[in-house]
């Protein structure tokens, strides 16, 4: 798309990943953005850059009862692009995913199917390749599976271990990681102590 189109279409993409329903606002921006537009000597638009900051990261894992996670999670659960459900190894039931079902799962004023198509179109206008676009969706799906991972305490040890691996397997697959390595990293994190790394 033209530069003008790209500046305009950045909004649906940013809002999908940065806006959510809150108790007071169905489409509340949970981040800040600063758009800098540059003009050439003739006064014609020459470039733009957008800086984002202060994303409310905690919303990804926890929402209050009257609130919702970021719109993108509910957009991909619609059947607007059914191939996403298969590709991301997900169902279309938000209650199957703990990270997105702690509060509201629908918003009366928002059509998640239409919004998914707007988000997907925005990626195209912004020049995302099909692989880049799928990478964004895969990471989103991986986060949904990530929230379903369960851990238990090892017997007679102050150590966690996986309680089943299905969610980790799906999450790792979507992120292009080895599932065993992902679980090892979560259960035995490497911590920097001075100049050295120590595995817990």
Answer yes or no: do 158 and 118 share one domain.
no
Question: 87-124: per-residue pLDDT in tens?
Answer: 999 999 999 999 999 999 999 999 999 999 999 999 99
Whether 165 and 183 have beta carbons less than 8 Å apart is answered as yes
Range of the domain at 157: 151-189
Answer yes or no: do 121 and 155 share one domain.
no
Answer yes or no: do 157 and 66 share one domain.
no
Q: How far is CA 117 from the centre of its chain?
A: 16
Answer yes or no: do 23 and 118 share one domain.
yes
Does some domain include residue 200? Answer: no
Does some domain include residue 141? Answer: no
- In the chain, the number of structural domains is 2
Whether 25 and 49 have beta carbons less than 8 Å apart is answered as no
Answer yes or no: do 14 and 101 share one domain.
yes
Q: What is the pLDDT along the chain (200 residues), one digit of tens a residue?
A: 799 999 999 999 999 999 999 999 999 999 999 999 999 999 999 999 999 999 999 999 999 999 999 999 999 999 999 999 999 999 999 999 999 999 999 999 999 999 999 999 999 999 999 999 999 999 999 999 999 999 999 988 888 999 999 999 999 999 999 999 999 999 998 889 999 998 87
Domain CATH code at residue 60 = 1.10.10.820
């Amino acid at each position: 798309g033209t530069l003008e189109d790209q500046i305009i279409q950045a909004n649906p993409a940013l809002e999908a990943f940065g806006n959510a329903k809150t108790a007071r606002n169905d489409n509340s921006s949970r981040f800040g953005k600063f758009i800098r537009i540059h003009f050439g000597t003739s006064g014609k638009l020459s470039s733009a850059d957008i800086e984002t900051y202060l994303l409310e990261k905690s919303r990804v894992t926890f929402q209050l009862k009257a609130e919702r996670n970021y719109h993108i999670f509910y957009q991909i659960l619609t059947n607007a692009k059914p191939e996403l459900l298969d590709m991301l190894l997900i169902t279309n039931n938000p209650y199957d995913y703990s990270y997105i079902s702690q509060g509201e799962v629908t918003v009366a004023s928002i059509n998640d199917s239409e919004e998914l198509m707007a988000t997907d179109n925005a990626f195209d206008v912004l020049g995302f390749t099909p692989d880049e676009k799928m990478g964004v969706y895969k990471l989103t799906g991986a986060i949904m599976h990530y929230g379903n991972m369960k851990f238990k305490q090892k017997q007679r040890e102050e150590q966690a271990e996986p309680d089943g691996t299905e969610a980790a397997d799906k999450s790792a697959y979507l992120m292009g990681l080895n599932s065993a390595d992902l679980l090892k990293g979560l259960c035995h994190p490497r911590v920097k102590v001075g100049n050295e790394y120590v595995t817990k």
